[in-house]
Structure formats: structure tokens, C-alpha cells
Amino acid sequence: MQHRKIPQTERQPDPARREGPHPTDRHVGNRVARLRSQVRMTQSELALKVGVSVQQIQKYENAKNRISASMLHQIALCLGVPVGRLFDGLPEADIESEFGSPHKQEHLAFLSSVEGQRLNDVLLALSPQLRRRIATLAETIGIELSSARISSEETKG
């Protein structure tokens, strides 16, 4: 059976095709550029480290080309950040659709905040045993604060 070429006028528009880059691709490209600048690395240095041309880095940062998963991993390693940092700050609608519940969103928002990143860095520098003890202490403090708030509300009511 012979296939006939479908004239352009008969083709259905591809819903996956968009005008311009996807907002997430734009966001990730901007994050790569910002993080690269923060670590005072030039596009040339990053290109050399990940094995692509400077023009390719420019295309990634400007979202002209999508960044593959393996390249995202390589770039994150070179920048000294977890891959997730390249997605920090995505609009809430994207986070909700990708990560579900508001409770999870709250956790992700904290983890991606400067305060959350500082706390995580400090905790990772500690031994696992000390981290567990600190987690238990924080949990105990949280429980006591919740109990005190409930008692306070009961006496007012």
C-alpha cells in the first residue's frame, strides 16, 4: 500500500506543538544561566565541562533547544547543585500538577527556599545519628507548640 503525502492544508494541528518554547524550558534555561553566573562560570567554561559548544549552552539558556535529562544532570553536577534546583521557582500551577497535594507543595516550597536550602546543607554536614536527634528535637518542639496553641484556644473559647 502506498502512502500519500497529506497536503499542509489537510493536516490537523499538533496539540503538542506550541508557539515558542515551553514555559518550563524557558524557566530551566533561565535557572541554568542564573546559577552559572552565581558560581562565576562562563558559558565557555560550562560548555567545556559538559562537552558541548558555547552556542549550545546559549541555546539551552535561551530555551531555543530543550535540555535532555542526561544533560540536565551533567549541568547540575558542573554547577554543584542538585538537579531539582534547576526547577526551583516554577509557577504554582506547574508544581500542583506535577507534585499533587498542597501539603507536598508546602514542603517543596520550603525546601527550595533559601532558608530550607541552608538548613538542608547544615544538616547534611552532620552525622546521620546527630541528624536523627535534631529531627526528634524539632518534632518534639512542634508537638509542644501545637499543644500549647490548642490549650490557649480552649481557654479563650
Q: Number of folded domains in the chain?
A: 2
Residue (of 70, 74, 64, 2) closest to 29 by Cα position: 64
Residue (of 105, 104, 110) closest to 91 by Cα position: 105
7 lies in some domain:
no
Side-chain-side CA neighbours of 100 within 13 Å: the count stands at 3
- Of 38, 59, 88, which residue is a domain's last? 88
What's the confidence (pLDDT) of residue 95?
A: 45
pLDDT tens-digit profile, the chain (157 residues):
555 565 555 555 555 555 788 889 999 999 999 999 989 999 999 999 999 999 999 999 999 999 999 999 999 999 999 998 998 888 764 444 555 556 666 777 777 788 888 888 899 899 999 999 998 998 899 888 888 777 777 777 6
Within this chain, do residues 76 and 117 fall inside the same structural domain, yes or no?
Answer: no
Confidence (pTM): 0.51
What's the confidence (pLDDT) of residue 64?
A: 94
Q: What is the domain range of residue 145?
A: 98-157
Grid cell of 25 as nine digits: 524550558
